[in-house]
């Protein structure tokens, strides 16, 4: 088994916390040899924890990409709107690319990347990590194996959780469409990808409704301040940042220690660092008085080739973060909850079969095992001299067309969008 060298373009949560640790778990497969990030503390972490040489640490993507090729693979884990620029430059340098999702909120850019990937013959694997989880892989295997006959409908939901939504989509990085992406792309390109994969046919049409309903100034409690630390009505507010990031049982420091999401609020967090960050930083703002504009709930209806249809709901307003799915077919139905990691298969006329996938999780962790499953599969692909992975650029562009068309529909009163036409016009209907 060959060992692949990796350059990290962007050493944030994904680059440094989700992917770099793979090189410690399986040093025989992956070695981090270079990285770029404008935040000096991230580069210091790269040097200290991964032994990357100082001359291989760069202050920007541009500096890194101005060098000759430094590794076999570039992991592009910068923010959404930088992905395509970085990936195109990396392909030109001869890297294989592991590209964070979404590829881009601009469909024209997604199509340009697909073309460049074909032209250079290098691998572009998009981080649609759910396909690599035991849960969705087992579900897809059952369906492809004919267990429920011909797929008729899929019903899926993404329950974001009120605290996660506030962290990422109200106070955090994905709150504004002009800076990153619409929520249905940022959060749900995964779900669109999974729907397409489970049905096994091309999506033909989508239609969507949704809005930013709750996280708006008119819903602030009377007397609320702009920042939680100064707020006279913080007690009893579900979104008080001090409580959320310090003591909340879902996401507070007392529970997650230096894990996500508190390590986004402060690097190597402790209660003092967190309070200091909440005093001046974005995560200490009142959720009703932020500059957010992305939808907080959305529904999408989808029609696939061959007649199958799907219905998907994403909502900020759930207690926990989890996905559910139910697929019906001509011979049976199968449903499950990703967090429970169990599938219930009912072939009509036979006893129900409960498939418990928890034991099969093995050493993988992060996104239900998807993060490491993705890297594992990338290295297997490269080792075999292939470039067409499970979440390659062709399949991934399809899910981006679905998500961006859903957003277009939502913004245009729920009009039905023909995906072939939407793609032909590169998303500019």
Ligand X SMILES: NC(=O)c1ccc[n+]([C@@H]2O[C@H](COP(=O)([O-])OP(=O)(O)OC[C@H]3O[C@@H](n4cnc5c(N)ncnc54)[C@H](O)[C@@H]3O)[C@@H](O)[C@H]2O)c1
C-beta of 403: minimal distance to ligand X in Å?
A: 12
Residue placing its CB nearer to ligand X in the complex, 37 or 72: 37
Query: Would you say 61 or 240 has its CB closer to ligand X?
Result: 61
CB 37 within 8 A of CB 10: yes
Q: Is 4 helix (H, G, I), strand (E, B) or coil?
A: strand
Question: Which CB sits closer to ligand X, 87 or 127?
Answer: 127
Give the nearest residue (CB) to ligand X.
12
DSSP secondary structure letters along 369-394: GHHHHHHHHHHHHHHTT----TTBHH
Distance of closest approach, residue 181 Cβ to ligand X, in angstroms: 7
Binding positions for ligand X, rule: CB under 6 A: 9-15, 36-39, 42, 60-61, 77-80, 100-101, 127, 129, 173, 186, 367
Q: Cis peptide before 22, with omega less than 30 degrees from 0? A: no
Q: Min. distance of Cβ 143 from ligand X in angstroms?
A: 23
CB neighbours of residue 12 within 10 Å:
19
Strand segments, DSSP code E, in 297-341 are: 297-304, 309-315, 322-329, 332-337
Between CA 145 and CA 381 the distance in angstroms is 23
Closer of 130 and 405 to ligand X (Cβ): 130
- Indicate the residue among 42 and 323 with the shorter CB distance to ligand X: 42
Q: Rounded to the nearest whole angstrom, what is the least distance from the CB of residue 10 to ligand X in the complex?
A: 3
How far is Cα 80 from Cα 88, in angstroms, rounded to an integer? 14
CB of 249 vs ligand X, minimal distance in Å: 22
Tokens linked to 109: 């850019």
- Give the residue with the Cβ less far from ligand X, 60 or 337: 60
CA dist 45 and 14 (Å) reads 14
The Cβ-side half-sphere exposure at 202, using a 13 Å CA radius, reads 10
180's CB contacts (< 8 A; 6+ apart) are 79, 80, 81, 105, 173, 174, 186
Query: Based on CB atoms, which residue is closest to ligand X, 38 or 414?
Result: 38
Task: Supply the minimum distance, in Å, between the C-beta of residue 11 and ligand X.
Answer: 5
Q: CB of 83: closest distance to ligand X in angstroms?
A: 6
């Amino acid at each position: 088994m060959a060992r692949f060298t990796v350059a990290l373009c962007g050493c944030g949560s994904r680059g440094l916390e989700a992917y770099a640790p793979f090189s410690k778990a399986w040093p025989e497969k992956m070695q981090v040899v270079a990285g770029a990030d404008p935040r000096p503390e991230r580069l210091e972490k790269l040097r200290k924890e991964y032994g990357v040489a100082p001359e291989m640490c760069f202050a920007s993507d541009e500096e890194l990409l101005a060098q000759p090729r430094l590794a076999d693979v570039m992991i592009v884990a910068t923010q959404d709107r930088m992905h395509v620029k970085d990936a195109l430059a990396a392909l030109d340098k001869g890297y294989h690319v592991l590209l964070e999702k979404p590829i881009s909120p601009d469909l024209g850019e997604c199509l340009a990347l697909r073309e460049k990937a074909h032209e250079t013959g290098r691998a572009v694997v998009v981080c649609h990590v759910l396909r690599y989880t035991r849960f969705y892989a087992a579900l897809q295997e059952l369906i492809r194996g004919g267990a429920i006959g011909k797929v008729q409908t899929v019903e899926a939901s993404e329950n974001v959780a009120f605290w996660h939504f506030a962290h990422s989509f109200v106070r955090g990085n994905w709150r504004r469409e002009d800076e990153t992406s619409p929520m249905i792309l940022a959060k749900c390109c995964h779900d669109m990808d999974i729907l397409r994969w489970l049905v096994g046919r091309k999506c033909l049409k989508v239609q969507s409704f949704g809005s930013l309903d709750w996280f708006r100034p008119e819903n602030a409690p009377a007397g609320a301040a702009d920042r939680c630390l100064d707020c006279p009505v913080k007690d009893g507010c579900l979104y008080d940042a001090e409580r959320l990031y310090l003591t909340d049982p879902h996401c507070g420091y007392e529970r997650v220690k230096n894990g996500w999401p508190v390590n986004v609020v402060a690097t190597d967090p402790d209660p003092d660092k967190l309070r200091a960050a909440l005093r001046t930083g974005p995560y200490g703002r009142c959720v009703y008085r932020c500059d957010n504009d992305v939808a907080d709930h959305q529904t999408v209806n989808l029609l696939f080739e061959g007649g199958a249809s799907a219905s998907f709901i994403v909502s900020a307003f759930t207690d926990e973060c989890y996905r559910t799915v139910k697929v019906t077919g001509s011979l049976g139905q199968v449903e499950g909850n990703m967090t429970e990691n169990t599938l219930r298969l009912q072939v009509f006329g036979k006893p129900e079969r409960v498939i418990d996938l928890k034991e099969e999780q093995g050493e993988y962790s992060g996104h239900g095992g998807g993060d490491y499953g993705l890297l594992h599969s990338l290295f297997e692909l490269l080792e075999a001299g292939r470039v067409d992975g499970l979440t390659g650029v062709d399949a991934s562009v399809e899910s981006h067309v679905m998500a961006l068309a859903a957003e277009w529909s939502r913004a245009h009163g729920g009009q039905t969008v023909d995906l072939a036409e939407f793609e032909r016009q590169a998303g500019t209907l």
